[in-house]
Structure 1
């Protein structure tokens, strides 16, 4: 199955076959065996019918009809259904005749997690973070190394003992309310406890959190993250999910919208689902969407954000009625961030894909006061945080890399959120983390960052 992650051009022009290169190979780990192709030339190339093989001539994966690579575009192909890539093996690319070799790469040990060319399309292969469908991670943020946490080194618990148990994941602060997504298919509405922490809202059926369902009223969405738009809770809560807990072995990478302002019952049925599974690289069923955040259109256009689906500056008017912004979604298994316009009609358009540069993405948060995107990893990356901004190229680029606060243990923090500018006191404001493992009986912790 092809894993779409490239810019597709409307028509391919004649171009040298050697413009297309094997660019990344994954042989084991969080995704199926995959081979990524990259067009290093200046014209689009139709690669329909081209053939991928390992070191066995009888192996064969045929690139699907209608597959075109625009200049500078990458596309990954899940070859696991056709052949496996071993610890000592090759990836080979042929023209449709099956005998004209275009490119090949061989290795003597499994990818860890990826074999990637640096620079894309032209450089040598080396071990790198997994970035299928996105620019290869050539070095640690272009030489940007981690620096100490930009706030107090100390953290404190911010919940009562054993209120949530395990699996509290994504967070989003909306002024006096903290929204929390729990993997067990539950959404929490939390209010301040008067001592710097949070407790469940006891009104309108929220005391134990509300159980989530798909639009047809069934299922148990594995809710990993939550965000709001400029409309706030009145516009609905948007929850990122990676699978239906009632069919836990199958990926279902979806964004679900819930009306959270009406009703007193203990169940919420989604008013809309955007199922994005088919257009993304295949990942393990528990390695899908782990993070979501929303950025206003006006912010993006002012920054010169580039729409990768058109190759031009982002124009919100192309997409009709939508939320007035784009959603960024982080995939745990590929450590990649995908940006989507989710239209009111139910259509979805991917407008950007970029690598986080880490081993996983557990949380995304847009901080409007600083016009920066927080990309957060858990104990997989020793609690590292990164910030990214829209650069002069119109793409998200690395801004800074931060270690976790020195006073916080290396725990399974899958959620992170920041207070607004209105909470800045003496140059700092609160931030909160959610620990999926409920270490020491506490799932929420509080720290600070500089305003």
Structure 2
């Protein structure tokens, strides 16, 4: 198969329009407008030398932007545009760090344009954990990555008169095709319904002609439309090509050769991505996600020799998840049928990148086999050296025959001693009995079998959680393991739940210099253990709740002092990141599975170290305890700067310590859960002043909040609570309300009514956090350290 996605965009840039930068703007002669309803941020460069921002005037008249203010939320800058800054109709203006040295933008930042009064918001752009190098408005007015930088010029697709060119068709892609019924499907990734009634289609050899559209011609926003090919599609190779009404502008195409696009379909996994697979079932009219999570047929034709069972426990993602902060289109990262062994077929249950060598990764199967993998381009392949060419068998203590002794080895981590620590949840020769333990192996042992140097059996410690009388519980034990250094735990005030005091490593002689955190599938919890060096004891120090109902893996992120808790298909492949908090670990944020990664039985998770970062991203690998087309490793990227903030207590800051009844204040809070909704309430008689959602750094802002005129003078409190639990106060700050002055013949400020307006959810960048922390009347505040961009 040779799939391609060819998109030809037409642009109409009219020559001769007055494009101005700072030097040319002063020469405009027409009367500029007094307001700026059509001023937009047109282009942003955050990774340049210097950074720069371009504004555009979409109105039909010149616009005077003199005195306008640009602010950035993370670096806290505020720059004012000079006098005679006039943008002609359809013209642009560039503000750069050369002219304004304070203008420096970061990943996850918010850029805001304010009117000359310094408070009226004109436009703002917020972006995720990536540098915008360079990004700008497309013809639809959306901020997107631009292939070329155009400071001082209109962006590609913008007409010379300021009118965007219509390239909305670029949201349409061919998403699925089958030669069995000569059918194909369109997917609309945009936010607007699109009518394709006058579009044309052909196959590999015919002239484009009208669509065969038995289901109508409208492709709904983020939806699907099934069409029939207007020519028959050959099972030995063919094509579907889609054109605009001109018959020459190619919207998309799919070409396959030497194979049959049946049974099932050729499908994009996920929808709209570049990852084409031959799915055993079709999914016309709906997302390909379920089909892509099922059996995959070899694209070269015929059956995959090592195909095992597809994912079957498909569940929804963890609620409240954020978009995966990296590549959405994940790629195969192993050779086909690479992990078959004498005991089991193709699958991988656990992964760990060696902390001593980022080009080495350990992979364990749940059928007692381990591989040492080395990086080879975009793939991880079996290390041919030192007897590792086909991996090595794992056995229980005292055993020598790997066919008779079969620990159900679910996960793996490299300890500080260089040994391999592997979890078991049962003996595969006695599958109905739980056996939750940790085995330690010396990877340098010669021969094809690794014999454990120690075993810590903690099955009894899980009494009341894993029920030995329930057969299925034997398959719901420890699925993940990672090692966390004592230094990181004591620095965060980690509490030893067995003593009720701060964790003291000296209490556990011989345990080494860290704890092992084990992930229990049944309840989604992590259990921290001090393991004695001789295998004689395992003392539980703490239990960590991840918030997920099931869990398949856990990884310690030493670069960010975070735990990554990973779910398989039963929770939609979600990932929860936990940070040190209040003597334990609390949810920092939840990420959804990348859209281009099918909801497979993804049990293994390996996170590369920051030392491997290139262009701001690093590799993440997930493994399938099964396989998809004979492949079990899938690789993508994650941003190296996720905007993590070290532990801070939630705090509230007010713009003033006092306010007159009927007046307004600004409320700011930090140390919150990113993406969560919060209520801001005035006490003692509870009055909700507004609600807002915390941004990616755990901050929120409510600006120009009106304190009702009916509030009595005196001492009050402003509180922040989770919107779902308003009774539990997270943070608060005192506020003094003073009586409003009463003019003769009036009834005072209260005559205007009680709650005239509630707070509006505003970007934190409207007022820099540095100013807020020093504001008069600051409430409870926290000290945070943000990792540099």
The answer to whether the Cα contact below 8 Å between 2:546 and 2:586 also exists between their aligned partners in 1 is: no
How far has the Cα of 1:262 moved from its partner?
3.1
Asked whether 1:282 is paired with 2:466, we answer yes
The separation in 2 between residues aligned to 1:258 and 1:230, in whole angstroms, is 13
* Structure 1 residue corresponding to 2:424, chosen from 226, 241, 252: 241
The answer for the alignment partner of 1:371 in structure 2 is: 561
| CA displacement, residues 95-134 of structure 1 (integer Å, 9 cap, x when unaligned) | xxxxxxxxxxxxxxxxxxxxxxxxxxxxxxxxxxxxxxxx
Return structure 1 stretches of 4+ with deviation > 6 angstroms: none
2:379 equivalent to 1:197: yes
> 1:166, CA displacement in angstroms?
3.1
**Unaligned runs of at least 5 residues, structure 1:** 1-139
Q: What SS class does the counterpart of residue 370 from structure 2 fall into?
A: strand
1:170 maps to which of 342, 345, 350: 350
> In the TM superposition, what is the alpha-carbon distance from 1:273 to its structure 2 partner?
0.1
> Within the alignment, does 1:260 sit opposite 2:443 as a pair?
yes
1:441 alignment partner, SS class: coil
SS in 1 for 2:327: coil
How far off is 1:303 after superposition? 1.1
TM normalised by structure 2 equals: 0.38
Report matched runs for 1:177-192 at 5 Å: 177-192=360-375
- Separation of aligned partners in 1, 2:580 and 2:611: 24
The structure where strand makes up a greater share of residues is 1
Please say if 1:150 is aligned against 2:325.
yes
Map 1:101-180 onto structure 2 (within 5 A): 145-164=320-339, 165-174=345-354, 175-180=358-363
Instruction: State how far apart, in whole Å, the 2-side matches of 1:181 and 1:224 are.
Output: 7
Pairwise CA distance, 1:229: 2.1
Partner in structure 2 of residue 71 of structure 1? none
Larger Rg: 2
Write the distance in 2 (CA, Å) between the matches of 1:262 and 1:381. 38
Task: Provide the C-alpha distance between the structure 2 equivalents of 1:242 and 1:423, rounded to a whole number of angstroms.
Answer: 33
In the TM superposition, what is the alpha-carbon distance from 1:357 to its structure 2 partner?
1.3
Q: Distance in 1 between matches of 2:337 and 2:460?
A: 38
Deviations 1:363-416 (A, max 9, x none): 00000101100000011011100000110x101100000001111111110000
SS of structure 2 residue aligned to 1:168: coil
Q: Distance in 1 between matches of 2:504 and 2:383?
A: 40
Could you say which structure has the greater relative contact order, defined with CA pairs below 8 angstroms and 6 or more residues apart?
1
2:360, 2:374 within 8 Å by CA — same for their partners in 1? yes
Correspondent of 1:269 among 416, 430, 451: 451
Deviation, 1:230, is 2.6
Alignment counterpart, residue 306 of structure 1, candidates 491, 495, 498: 495
Counterpart mapping for 1:292-303 below 5 A = 292-303=481-492
C-alpha contact 1:171 1:434 (8 A) present in aligned 2: yes
The Cα shift of 1:217 comes to 1.8
| C-alpha separation in 2, matches of 1:207 and 1:221 | 21
Distance 1:240 1:227 in 2: 9
1:362 corresponds in structure 2 to 552
Paired residue secondary structure (2:326)? coil
What is aligned with 2:216? none
Equivalent-residue separation in structure 2 for 1:323 and 1:437 (angstroms): 35
Native 8 Å contact 1:167 1:184 kept in 2: no
Per-residue Cα deviation, 1:19-70 (whole angstroms, up to 9, x for no partner): xxxxxxxxxxxxxxxxxxxxxxxxxxxxxxxxxxxxxxxxxxxxxxxxxxxx
Residues 294-317 of structure 1: CA deviation (Å, up to 9, x unaligned):
100011111111111111111100
Per-residue deviation at 1:323? 2.7
- In structure 2, list runs of 5 or more residues that go unmatched: 1-316, 340-344, 468-472, 641-789
Per-residue deviation, 1:324: 1.1
Secondary structure of the equivalent of 1:398? Answer: strand
What whole-Å deviation, never above 9, does each CA across 1:318-343 have from its counterpart, x for those lacking one? 00012310001111112221110001
Is it true that 1:225 corresponds to 2:411 in the alignment? Answer: yes
Q: 1:441 offset after TM fit, Å?
A: 0.9
Given that 2:338 and 2:346 are in contact with CA atoms closer than 8 Å, whether structure 1 keeps it comes out as no
Q: Secondary structure at the match of 1:409?
A: coil
1:193-212 per-position Cα deviation (integer Å, ceiling 9, x unaligned): 2x221111112221221110
CA contact (8 A) 1:249 1:285 kept: yes
Pair 1:414-2:591 in alignment: no
State the TM-score, normalized to the length of structure 1: 0.66
Q: What SS is found at the alignment partner of 1:422?
A: helix
Distance 1:256 1:349 in 2: 16
SS at match of 1:222: strand
Q: Is the 8 A contact 1:229 1:323 kept in 2?
A: no
Q: Secondary structure at the match of 1:192?
A: strand
Aligned residue number for residue 337 of structure 1: 526
Q: Distance in 1 between matches of 2:445 and 2:369?
A: 17
Deviations 1:111-158 (A, max 9, x none): xxxxxxxxxxxxxxxxxxxxxxxxxxxxx99xx821100111111110
